[in-house]
Amino acid sequence: MVIQNNFLIAARSQYWSRQKCLITGCPNNIRHTMLSRKAEDYLEAILNITEEKGYTRVKDIALALDIQPSSVVEMLKKLNDMGYVVYRKYDGVTLTQKGREIGSLVKDRHDTLKALLEILQVPEKIANKDACIMEHELETKTVEQLKNFVRFVKSAPDYPQWLQHFRTFCETGVHPCEADKRKGIGSPDKPELI
């Protein structure tokens, strides 16, 4: 009962947060688009398929999202009515400017989160799956900082030593500096990290 009540409170809070943003105008934050996760996934899939093939058809979306074509048609009609896509039976689907913006935001979040998870030694398939979940929930500022971190790591002129230490730790369960201490190598004790 407590879990159910907490869920309802959180859902109401998120709903009113989105309503407030519609009224007052929030910064461009993907969480406040009033689209469901599923709708955002469709826009991202349409964007990815269009970038890859130059066009998108119902069967492409069904394959990408692992759902039935009839479900795709139903969602495309809704997205068409909301102005995110242009869908005509037998002609395929194209994103409107509004749909492209949301699709691009979701894709950027996904790519950032997947890259971060891969830096943390998460296998690619799992990183991709988890990024799909996380891309809808994180605040814009959080994603911006994660993106900065990913760019920082990837732009390092040499592979960062601390990242190599992390990789070694993941493989062995022992911090390389601790192993060096046991061997009598390294610097004096460092201050505690918070």
The CA-atom distances, in angstroms, between 75 and each of 36, 78, 96 are 11, 5, 15
Q: Report long-range pairs for 167-173 (Cβ below 8 Å, ≥24 apart).
A: 167/121, 170/121
Does residue 174 fall inside a structural domain?
yes
Higher pLDDT among residues 75 and 16, named by residue: 75
Asked if residue 103 and residue 76 are part of one domain, the reply reads yes
Asked if residue 90 and residue 130 are part of one domain, the reply reads yes
Does residue 101 fall inside a structural domain?
yes
pTM for the predicted model, two decimal places: 0.72
- What mean pLDDT do residues 100-128 have? 96
Asked if residue 176 and residue 80 are part of one domain, the reply reads no
Higher pLDDT among residues 191 and 67, named by residue: 67
For residue 28, pLDDT over 60 is answered with: no
CB distance 150 to 116 below 8 Å: yes
User: DSSP of 20-41, one letter per residue?
Assistant: HHHHHT--S-GGGS---HHHHH
Asked if residue 165 and residue 76 are part of one domain, the reply reads no
Asked if residue 71 and residue 111 are part of one domain, the reply reads yes
User: In which domain, by residue range, is 105 found?
Assistant: 37-155
For residue 22, pLDDT over 70 is answered with: no
Q: What is the pLDDT confidence band of residue 19, given thresholds at 50, 70 and 90?
A: very low
What pLDDT is stored for residue 14 in this prediction?
Answer: 53
Q: At what angle do helices 97-119 and 140-154 cross, to 10 degrees?
A: 50
